[in-house]
Amino acid sequence: MEKFENVSGVAAPMPLINIDTDMIIPKQFLKTIKRTGLGVNLFDEMRYDSEGNEIADFVLNQPAYRNAEIIVAGDNFGCGSSREHAPWALQDFGVKVVISTSFADIFYSNCFKNGILPVVLPKEAVDALMDDAQKGENARIAIDLENQTVSAADGEEYKFEVDAFKKHCLMNGLDDIGLTMQKVDAIDVFEAKYGESMPWI
């Protein structure tokens, strides 16, 4: 997993509430166990019509937001089933930060394990950032994970809370495998001793 670095750019506004994981990545795309290749199907049923053509008024199909690394969303983002493919699809598309008033617990945890920062802010702050996001290329939002701030285009700054361990993992690019590999020397020592003491296993 890549280290999380500060993000600054245009944010895509998605004011819908209860955007669930089936909206993020529909069930027909869950056959793969690869983390890559799902970005093209992110929000598939909202991005494309039945013929596979782009729906022009969907936010991520609009020129200003095609490369958005930030999403400002309505309440309860990532609810529904616990599919890890949802953050995989967001990450593969290029999304690095999702800002909302609330997230489903499992989705929230899965984001950190896949290099995405979910930022929880009060409704007033999210509403202000949503207004910024709707200005397209005329407004940029900046996220500073180390200092735990989101800065609006007008310079207004919002503080957010994040678990210290999750923050450490994001900033150092550590997913579950990465955390395990930090202990590889101790694991090797244990396995060697275990093999000596129980050679029949």
Would you say the C-alpha torsion 39, 33, 104, 144 has a positive or negative sign? negative
Q: Which domains does the chain have, with CATH numbers?
A: 7-197 (3.20.19.10)
pTM beyond 0.85: the answer is yes
Return the amino acid letter for 114: N
pLDDT at residue 111, as a whole number: 97
In whole numbers, what is the pLDDT of the chain averaged over residues? 91
Range from 8-22, 85-99, 176-190 carrying the lowest mean pLDDT: 176-190
Q: Is the pLDDT of residue 178 over 70?
A: no
Q: Which of 75, 90, 82 is nearest to 44 (CA)?
A: 90
3-state secondary structure of 166: helix
pLDDT at residue 167, as a whole number: 96
Burial 120-151 (b: 16+ CB within 10 A, else e): bbeeebbebbbebbbebeebbbbbebeeeebb
Q: How many CB atoms lie within 10 A of CB 57?
A: 8
pLDDT at residue 2, as a whole number: 87
Strand partners, 119: 99
pLDDT tens track for 129-172? 999 999 988 789 999 999 999 999 999 999 999 999 999 999 99
